Amino acid sequence: MQRRTPPQKSQTPNAEPRTVSIVVPALNEAGYVERTIRSGQRQEGPLEVVVADGGSTDATPARAAAEGARVIAAPKGRARQMNAGAARARGDVLLFLHADTTLPEGALAAVRGALAEPGVRAGTFRLRFDREGPLLRFYAWATRLRWRRFCYGDRGLFVRHDVFEQIGGYPDWPIFEDLELAGRLHHFTDENGGFRYLPMAVTTAARRFEREGPLRRQLQNLVLWTRYLLGVDPEAVAHRYRYD
């Protein structure tokens, strides 16, 4: 699977961003999706929440709809679901948010403020977990580093809708679609400020670390990440390692 060359950087001056579309890919997330949607709905300013459901067999679609989200059916796979959600989104700003991640107060105001600055086209948040632990604290601290190769999707990623379309959306990969998109956005928006790292943190569930053990999970993440940096085909990485 080849990695595409990003398009040329945009030279279009910023217009004032208006509606933010929060795009949430979900698959059997009935235990989390409500609080995620609520964290978006309590934000100020015009917004919508689009839940791209990948075929849930639990109450995810019903609970999302009950919270006021617009639920759409999408092909299974996080990248495909996010692309499908973006295609149906009406806002001129897209914020991709995992179904087990919540926004802090003032998040969308910060997003709008950042995107209103000259040259800024995209950005991300810092990260914190809903549980404590030395490795989790270190992982959260590392998100303070402004490094595009560490822009995982659980941090939340925002981008102007037109820019997302220009770069072709998420690559249709089973893994690391988030890092690849962040890399393309850095190239497209210029390393000198076009990609903004907000100083506030989203909160994500530590369930995978708890289920597998923090150390084991972190070591697996390191192996996967290293293989990605070395250019190993994401399909091959996903085939060898169970990563969901």
Which of 13-27, 32-46, 74-88, 95-109 bottoms out in mean pLDDT, i.e. has the lowest?
13-27
Q: Give mean pLDDT, residues 203-213.
A: 78
Closest CA to 123 of 93, 88, 165, 85: 93
Q: Sorting pLDDT into bands at 50, 70 and 90, what band is 193? A: low
Residue 191 scores a pLDDT above 70: no
62 contact partners, CB below 8 Å, separation of at least 6? none
Residue 139 scores a pLDDT above 90: no
Q: How many residues does the chain have?
A: 244
Q: Which of 82-96, 144-158, 222-236 has the highest mean pLDDT?
A: 82-96
| Tokens at 224, concatenated | 């996967």
Q: Give mean pLDDT, residues 196-224.
A: 79
Q: Give mean pLDDT, residues 151-165.
A: 95
Q: Give mean pLDDT, residues 135-156.
A: 84
Q: Sorting pLDDT into bands at 50, 70 and 90, what band is 67? A: very high
Better-scored residue on pLDDT, 7 or 180: 180
Residue 151 scores a pLDDT above 60: yes
Domains and CATH numbers, the chain: 20-206 (3.90.550.10)
Q: Sorting pLDDT into bands at 50, 70 and 90, what band is 235? A: confident
Angle at 20 between CA 16 and CA 22, to 5 degrees: 155
Give the pLDDT score at 241.
57
From residue 156, alpha-carbon distances to 8, 22, 219, 227 in Å are 24, 10, 23, 23
Beta strands 47-53 and 70-73, pairing class: parallel
Give the pLDDT score at 134.
87
